[in-house]
Amino acid sequence: MAGSKNVLLIEDEPALRELYKSALMQGGYTVETSGNAEEAYAKLARFIPEYICLDVMLPGKSGLEILRDLRSNPALNAVDSKILILTNLAQRSVTDNAMEHGADGYIIKADILPIELPEILAMLD
């Protein structure tokens, strides 16, 4: 069981965001959500996550740009967070880019059920 670990879910699709949030909360996580980089950075000013679930295709900054920011900017309070890329982009170049820039895992959304997300995060430890 996850206990009360914090998760920041960065997903621009409202229906998916709610599905993943619900599954994570049922798994015992405390969850904050955002739909873009600006919202995520504002949340990180007051919420320090152990885990970040990050979509790649987002409005404005891409998830890969956000990943680079999270790993390189200590002011965002996420340098030590476990970051799971959660996307439908199954391109090898995207996967490689994410892993090279500090992602801890990479999951294709279509390959999992939302209820599996808490277990996947637990495996990152």
Give me the residues of the chain with pLDDT under 50, please. 1-3
Mean pLDDT of the chain: 93
pTM (predicted TM-score)? 0.93
Determine the pLDDT at residue 61. 96
Determine the pLDDT at residue 2. 42
Determine the pLDDT at residue 87. 87
Query: What own/partner pairs with CB < 8 Å and gap ≥ 24 does 67-74 have?
Result: 67/98, 67/101, 67/102, 67/103, 68/101, 68/102, 69/37, 69/41, 70/102, 71/101, 71/102
Mind listing the domains of the chain with CATH numbers?
A: 6-123 (3.40.50.2300)
In whole angstroms, give the CA distance from residue 94 to residue 75: 26
